[in-house]
Structure 1
Amino acid sequence: MASRRAAPAPTNATPAFFTTPPRRQLVDPNESALSRFIREQITAPEKLSGNISIVTGVSVFAAGIFVARTWGDMLVPA
């Protein structure tokens, strides 16, 4: 039984995927430092996964404090 082989790759092969060109930054000379920080660090799509992790951690922490203050007396034996 003969084994199959893939066709040899051409010498001038290009990748099978398209890369997205870098996004152009709109630079506003009158932009404040706070609005630049929000644009570059908070609403940037490449930082979304880290921002979601931070919000999740803060939410779990706040929920733990709420639960301990609301039902904490049930945790202590009387």
Structure 2
Amino acid sequence: METTQEKARVDVRIEPLRGLPLALEVVGGIGRTLGLTLLWGLEIVRDAYFRRLDRFNVRPRHKRASAFPPGQPKKQRTTAPR
């Protein structure tokens, strides 16, 4: 038992942006561009910093670093199930 359904035809209309929506799109694009430029600039500074450390032969710390602070861990409170 085959059923064939035809898809309804959809008319697509492209309307040009005008006024406030156009201004918001332009400002959003400029903001994204400036944000990426800032990130790329910070990446360049970070790379230069680490290259300088390599050039001065600065080695990483000898003591192993830990993600946990020193001392006794705090006791975890458990909440009663509702």
TM-score range, shorter chain: 0.3 to 0.5
Q: TM-score scaled to structure 1, two decimals? A: 0.38
Task: Name the structure where helix makes up a greater proportion of residues.
Answer: 1
Q: TM-score scaled to structure 2, two decimals? A: 0.37
Of structures 1 and 2, the one with the larger relative CO (CA 8 A, separation 6+) is 1
